[in-house]
Every structure is written in C-alpha cells, then in structure tokens.
Amino acid sequence: MQEPLRVVHYVNQFFGGIGGEEAANAEVSVVAGAVGSGRALQQALGDLGTVVNTIICGDNYANDRFEEARVAIETQLRSLQPEILIAGPAFGSGRYGASCTQACKIAAEMGLAALTGMHPENPGVTRALPDVYIVPTGETSAEMQQALAGMTRLAVKLGRGETLGPAAHEGYLPRGIRRLYDRQELGYKRALSMLVRKLKGEPFVTEVPIHEPERVLPAKPMADLAGAKIAIVTTGGLVRKGNPDRQVAANATRYYRHSVLELRSLSGSDWEAYHAGYFNHIVNSNPNYILPLNFLRDLQDAGVIDDVYEWIYALPGVSTPVAISQQMGQTIAKDLQDAQVTGCLLVST
C-alpha cells in the first residue's frame, strides 16, 4: 500500500476558523494539520493523504496585497514541500476563488502539484487557465462533500505524478490544452454511432462542441422606401486602387470607410478588392459586384430610394475573429444610427 500523500491545504480566514469578513485582511499563516473545513478534507482523503499543514490567507490580503501574499505563500510552500497543494474549495466566492487560483499558480511555478475547486462561474476561473486544475463545484458550501470527493480523487492522481486524461473524463474544468490520443475506433464508426443515438433521441456527446452564435433581434422593417437613406457595407475587401490605406487581406482588426458623396459608381480604375478568401479579379474589373453603388444610385435617380449614405464601410471578412467582428459591427451600427440611416446593405463574399 502506498504511503499517504503529504497534503497542504490552502484556505481563507473563514474556512480556516480565524473569523469572517472582519478577518479578511489576515496575513498568511501556517498551522499544523487540518483545521476548519480541512477536517472534512482529511476525511475525504482517508488513508490516501495526510493534511500535514494548512496555510490560511485572508481573502482581502490575497487580493489587495497579492505581491506580499505571493512571497509569503512561496516561502511556506518551499519549506513545507507538499506532494500536493489543495486550495479551497471556494464555491461561488470570488475573492476566495482568485486567492486559490493564485496559490495554485505559485505552486505550479515551483514545480509542485496543485489543485483547487470552485463554481465554473467563479471569477477565479478566468485567471486560472490554462495552468491550474480546477474541479467544478456547486455555488455554496452546502455541497462541500461532493466538492471534496471530486477534488480528492484528482488530487491523489496529481500527487502521485499521474497524467490526467481529458477534462470531461476526469472531472476538471477544460484548460484549453489539446493532446493527441487514439480513440481506438475509426472516425466514421464513431460518427455513425452518434448519428444513430441522435436519431433515436438518445443522449450523445459531440466530439467537436459548436459555439452557439448569438441571436440578434430582427430590426423593424423600413416603413417608407422612397424616403429611405441606404448605407452600404462590404466584407469583400474593397480598397482604393493600390491599397494606400494598407488594409490587410485577412484577419482584419479594423475597417476603413470611404466617402462616396457625388460618386455614381465604383470604377476598376479607382477601386479594387484585396481579400485572401476569394478570386479578386472579377471584382477588380467591376467593384460594384461587392458594393452595389451604381444600382443604388440608379434607384435614387428613379425615386425608389431617397439617398445613399455618404460613407461606405469596407474590410476583408476572412479569418475575422467573432469578437472583433462584433466590435466593428457595433461601431459601424452606431455611426449609421447617428447619421439616421434607414437601412443598411451588407454584402458579403
């Protein structure tokens, strides 16, 4: 039978039995054995581990004086040399979660195995990725037993130097690290099994989670076309000939806007397309294909619409990260609203 692991428990002032909010400024201190919630941890560990020491750090101290806290924690860990540091669980407490994450990072930097537990929406989670192992827990300490069960199981593996498998199998929050491994079954068979389960209405687990796009409420229809001012935006990579603005051909971080006041049509002698995602030559001869200015001007002359907005917006819409697209969209939309544009044509390639 293996020797019980040397475990150091890291807790805040409350779980360490020092006090409540009034003790949140408590500096880093160390006591022998398990205290407070550590006793439940020791029970969960059983023979597999012994909580030899507990490091207690006030939530405010950890967050406001983190440089000093860091030095103190480092010093303690260096002398205690645990085989595994277990921090928390912090549940839904934001400051405690951040404090636990920090403690685990310090341990990891020193080459010590470390693990914490907290609710998936605890702010401490965002700072942790990708270095720290976090076991997801409920929001309150009412779920202490379940949290400790999950944490001790993983802590023992980590303490023994075992490599953990994928997050979903082992029960920790995905860290965004991808490792290649053999699934032992050909892809088409796995796909078919998934499809059969889906058709039967049985649960199945996708291998490639798709991020759901946000749903946007449809704008109200334009009431009066003849009185409408129409703006044009293109992601076809329209640029002035020669690309004097030096817009990129892909992965754009900004758009450029151009004035088309008095302009009736886009000419291939003044404009071209610079877009890494499609064959640009056809648009180079007739840029109206991706920004239909000539049609809108003809419709304006015929009284079908009232006006074309003076500014057109252009970027190459290839490999644009969603977050950047959203920012650009919001800025353009604000411009159009301020200019009292009635409707906007977005032409995409």
* Residue ranges binding another protein (CB under 8 A): 213-216, 218-223, 225, 228, 230, 236, 278-283, 285-286, 288-290, 292, 295-296, 298-299, 304-305, 343, 345-349
3-class SS at 111? coil
Distance, CA of 104 to CA of 201 (rounded, Å): 42
Amino acid at 237: G
Both tokens of 139, joined, read 């929001």
Q: How far is the CB of 291 from another protein (least distance, A)?
A: 8
Q: How far is the CB of 331 from another protein (least distance, A)?
A: 18
Distance, CA of 282 to CA of 274 (rounded, Å): 12
Residue number, 194 or 345, with CB nearest to another protein: 345
Q: What's the alpha-carbon Rg for the chain, to the nearest Å?
A: 30
Residue number, 114 or 293, with CB nearest to another protein: 293
Residue number, 71 or 346, with CB nearest to another protein: 346
Distance, CA of 52 to CA of 310 (rounded, Å): 72
Contacts of 144 (CB under 8 A, 6+ apart): 37, 40, 89
Residue number, 62 or 228, with CB nearest to another protein: 228
Amino acid at 50: T
Q: How far is the CB of 233 from another protein (least distance, A)?
A: 9
Distance, CA of 326 to CA of 328 (rounded, Å): 5
Name which of 101, 98, 345 is nearest 230 in CA terms: 345
Name which of 111, 159, 134 is nearest 2 in CA terms: 159
Q: How far is the CB of 207 from another protein (least distance, A)?
A: 19
Residue number, 164 or 333, with CB nearest to another protein: 333
Both tokens of 5, joined, read 């692991």
Residues in the chain: 349
Residue number, 290 or 314, with CB nearest to another protein: 290
* DSSP characters over 208-246: SPPPPPPP-PPPPPPS-GGG-EEEEEE-B-EEETT-TT-
Question: To which residue do tokens 């440089």 refer?
Answer: 67
Contacts of 41 (CB under 8 A, 6+ apart): 7, 9, 34, 51, 86, 148, 151, 152
Q: How far is the CB of 176 from another protein (least distance, A)?
A: 23
Residue number, 159 or 316, with CB nearest to another protein: 316
Q: How far is the CB of 107 from another protein (least distance, A)?
A: 42
Q: How far is the CB of 297 from another protein (least distance, A)?
A: 11
Q: How far is the CB of 192 from another protein (least distance, A)?
A: 23
Residue number, 72 or 305, with CB nearest to another protein: 305
Amino acid at 324: I
